[in-house]
Chains A and B, each alone.
Chain A
């Protein structure tokens, strides 16, 4: 199967292309007796959120189908091969492209993953960027990341993913960081049921309705509306005090670090939060999970 030219989640066309590609990947892994070929030759650009989603999906498939034969056709663009080598994505398929990662904009990528709420791998990864970050920034980012991981472990895998594959018996989260000249990108992904499906399990219908009305979102229950409601419920009073504060921690990173942005992709929805403002978008294809991405100026 041919990978998209750009791994990019924000744009409508690139988002849907990536989702369709991931669907083909899942189907191919599930098919018996077929060697999966991941053709990256046309891929030339990798954005952190989309690359993280692909990495998570492939890691999950390798765990679900441990004997599955698959291989890569490396990209015609060296930077893509450098990133895949550096992040050990090629290594998932026991493939070596012959490319040694040397580029400054490649070796600053980092990754972490766990199937429990373990702050150590996330914390060590964030600490690796301490020359670019203040103590305060590290504290706020760690807070947001560990809450995203907590949500993944405690809520995201409460039911079937509905992607047609066998159940995944791990509550796993994956994390990427990437430093550029001006920004640090920090992403956390899970491949669970998504916020739009998990929210009604944690809050009563009347609470959700009241929140939607308060936000002038009407009675819609589309995915962006549900994500937006989840962000609001995170800071409002609920009937279950010990729940639902995690998205508040994710927003707080943005509130505390001027110029930063939060992008929450979940199933078909995207909500972006920056400078106190929200934007919402709905896509026709689902990512079947959640990707939380912060962009922090450095």
Chain B
């Protein structure tokens, strides 16, 4: 099984914030396009995303990073939920990230 791991706080930013790349240096869009998409393009069976070395996460960052994979980049929400393994001591954060992926799927289906 091909498994990849990304630690947000150590490999991207300890201070992730904001939605768009143009708004700041450690945005959700930047994390999505510069970190998550290149990992997904390696076609792994699993991507482990470790959250706890970052100071915290706002909903704008999380929605753009993970919901945006479905909404903007066209990935299948079901595939993402199968591939990603989210790791945090804050279980509500894990649920929230999964929610943004599911919600993006619902929005996309509503637009068809």
Interface residues of A (CB under 8 A from B): 116-120, 122-124, 126-127, 136, 138-144, 146-147, 149-150, 153-154, 241-242, 245-246, 248-249
Contact = CB atoms under 8 A, between A and B. Distances in A.
A174 B57 CA distance: 19
Contacts of B68: 242
Contact of B23 (A126, A139, A154): A154
A154 B55 contact: no
B16 to A, nearest CB: 6
Contacts of A136: 90
A207 to B, nearest CB: 15
Contact of B71 (A142, A147, A242): A242
B23 A142 contact: no
Nearest to B25: A118
Nearest to B88: A139
Given A118-B18, A123-B14, A143-B59, 10 more contacts: A119-B55, A124-B15, A139-B55, A139-B56, A140-B56, A150-B18, A241-B103, A245-B63, A246-B58, A249-B58
Nearest to A245: B59
A143 B63 CA distance: 13
B55 A127 contact: yes
Contact of B60 (A120, A139, A142, A147): A147
A123 B64 contact: no
A90 B47 CA distance: 51
B59 A119 contact: no
Nearest to B108: A241
Interface in B65-112: 67-68, 71, 90, 103-104, 107
A153 B60 contact: no
Contacts of B13: 119-120
B62 to A, nearest CB: 9
Contacts of A118: 15, 17-18, 24-26
B17 A246 contact: no
Closest 9 pairs (CB-CB, A-B)? A117-B18, A119-B17, A119-B15, A117-B24, A142-B56, A146-B17, A123-B15, A139-B56, A245-B59
Nearest to B60: A150
B58 A146 contact: yes
Nearest to B15: A119
B90 A139 contact: yes
A19 to B, nearest CB: 29
Contacts of B64: 242
Given A143-B57, A245-B60, A248-B59, A117 B17 contact: yes
A244 B81 CA distance: 24
Contact of A242 (B14, B17, B27, B63): B63
B24 A119 contact: yes
A155 B77 CA distance: 29
A139 B91 CA distance: 13
